[in-house]
Structure 1
């Protein structure tokens, strides 16, 4: 299923409470955006989670829905609040305290792409910003909420796995005491957005595939995990960041020679994660 705001792969039968999502892999760049931007097509894609929708496309085979953005992050960031409007970009937007994301140009309508490169020469109108939010942000989040509600109703819990990719340079300077750099970073907002038991199981799925896993550094999760992670209500949200160098050329934004092999590795990981949510939670009698 696809509309202008998102694509949705639904399983033939829902057998898992897990919902996979990819809010930053959209690549339907509107012609109006490309006419207004000062960037070329390659540079404007630098903040895109390129090919993440393909890496996790086996989700429906294992009984879990997969929700994917249609519009690119440079046009609208689904991992931001609809109220995170940047006064430096949007005419009439009011500054609402200090928000480091907005201040750096990464509000719901981004002002910059990777490495702080400006997308536009001038400002956008408030009407244009609201139109993007109403046409794309609200439908995506409405569908995400409904998918989680369906999981909760059928299985007694919902697990949101929010899929992203990170530049290799983001992890090149990090690592553990042994010097191992993470291939995968799991973000649960330091335990606030998901049960530790579930995060442990997701980490084990990646580790069993031979991948180095870290938690919450350098990415702990943003709007999606903060908003949908409610472990006290049996709703868990975990952000997954994958080192892009494992499967793509970051300069050309093309799959590299390891792409298909890595995609198969993730297929097994997706299958394991889907199994985490395959059994209904036994709720205590009221």
Structure 2
């Protein structure tokens, strides 16, 4: 995996590389999939030309280096997947029909118009605003731009993630998806922001034992945790978390202050410690995953 712990070079090109990276387990596999959908940092030149914002401002929407925080997951037997493209370009934690009609030169087809609160806020599958709330684009986009991004990035990422989960359910009878993100340490009113937020869609996306084990593990290191507030889980958690079919999903939000300089976009001295904690969390969840009830018809683990 490419490292960004040293001073980062610009990652800009005329084309996005392969839309995701898959890292297989390094030991006998367990039914655990670890994902980072928002840590991609390959910015196409044509996107930068369309944007009124410079690259530094755009990068504040990334889950900076979260893929590297997850690097220990394959060592505990998990499959790992992370996106290579930035979320501000195409957000795979949104449904593909969460398109903002105010962004495009043409009218959206009726079946592609779903004005969810996220779309109304400018944070649809093709975001209209940056993390700071600033409009991204100089002008409206042709609708084909959205269609191309979805076909080239959104669809392959979800096809790969779905295939990973299905293969684990087929082999083990169950699968736990841990969808990992980072969150700003300040700025959300009415919340005394914790160190970690565990989102299980208010108890619907995974077995209670999974959330409880994650919370116990993190608190054993002295971290403050919340459940579901202010992040209960996005599209990925809610779409793939179907415990009745053996598919469990937990979203994990990590406070950026724990591992990075939020202004300078560089790792801080806590980075290695948080990577160690995340590996311990995955080891805990790997043990829980192997003990989950098996779905009928699964093969030998």
Same fold per TM (> 0.5)? Answer: yes
Secondary structure of the residue aligned to 2:164 is: helix
Runs of 4+ deviating beyond 4 Å: 170-173, 282-285
Secondary structure of the residue aligned to 2:180 is: strand
Q: Deviations over 1:84-118 (max 9, x none)?
A: 11111123243735411111111111111112111
**Equivalent residues in 2 for 1:228-239 (5 A)?**
228-239=240-251
Equivalent residue for 1:108? Answer: 125
Alpha carbons 2:98, 2:124 under 8 Å: kept: yes
Q: In the alignment, does 2:285 pair up with 1:273? A: yes
| Alignment counterpart, residue 195 of structure 2, candidates 173, 178, 183 | 183
Alpha carbons 1:155, 1:279 under 8 Å: kept: no
**Residue 268 of structure 1, CA deviation:** 1.9
**Residue 140 of structure 1, CA deviation:** 0.3
Q: In the alignment, does 2:3 pair up with 1:17? A: no
Note closer, same or farther for the CA distance 1:172–1:83 as it changes in structure 2 (3 Å cut). closer
Return the alpha-carbon distance in structure 2 between the equivalents of residues 242 and 220 of structure 1.
Answer: 13
| Alignment counterpart, residue 186 of structure 2, candidates 169, 182, 188 | 169
Stretches of structure 2 lacking an aligned partner (at least 5 in a row) = 3-16
**Equivalent residues in 2 for 1:241-260 (5 A)?**
241-260=253-272
Number of residue pairs the alignment of both structures matches: 280
Return the alpha-carbon distance in structure 2 between the equivalents of residues 132 and 46 of structure 1.
Answer: 21
Return the alpha-carbon distance in structure 1 between the equivalents of residues 292 and 270 of structure 2.
Answer: 37
TM-score between the two structures when normalised by the length of structure 1:
0.92
Return the alpha-carbon distance in structure 2 between the equivalents of residues 171 and 214 of structure 1.
Answer: 14
Return the alpha-carbon distance in structure 2 between the equivalents of residues 191 and 261 of structure 1.
Answer: 29
Return the alpha-carbon distance in structure 2 between the equivalents of residues 200 and 54 of structure 1.
Answer: 25
Return the alpha-carbon distance in structure 2 between the equivalents of residues 130 and 151 of structure 1.
Answer: 31
Q: In the alignment, does 2:216 pair up with 1:199? A: no
- The answer to which of 150-159 and 165-174 deviates more is 165-174
Equivalent residue for 1:50? Answer: 64
Q: Deviations over 1:197-222 (max 9, x none)?
A: 22111211212222111100000011
Alpha carbons 1:165, 1:243 under 8 Å: kept: yes
**Residue 173 of structure 1, CA deviation:** 4.6
Return the alpha-carbon distance in structure 2 between the equivalents of residues 43 and 120 of structure 1.
Answer: 13
- The answer to which of 235-244 and 273-282 deviates more is 273-282
Alpha carbons 1:59, 1:274 under 8 Å: kept: no
Alpha carbons 1:193, 1:229 under 8 Å: kept: yes
| Alignment counterpart, residue 7 of structure 1, candidates 13, 21, 25 | 21
Return the alpha-carbon distance in structure 1 between the equivalents of residues 180 and 244 of structure 2.
Answer: 23
Return the alpha-carbon distance in structure 2 between the equivalents of residues 63 and 264 of structure 1.
Answer: 16
Secondary structure of the residue aligned to 1:115 is: coil
**Residue 14 of structure 1, CA deviation:** 4.4
Secondary structure of the residue aligned to 2:176 is: strand
Secondary structure of the residue aligned to 2:101 is: coil
Alpha carbons 2:195, 2:224 under 8 Å: kept: yes
Alpha carbons 2:33, 2:78 under 8 Å: kept: yes
Alpha carbons 1:15, 1:63 under 8 Å: kept: yes
Stretches of structure 1 lacking an aligned partner (at least 5 in a row) = 176-180
Q: In the alignment, does 2:179 pair up with 1:159? A: no
Return the alpha-carbon distance in structure 2 between the equivalents of residues 200 and 281 of structure 1.
Answer: 17
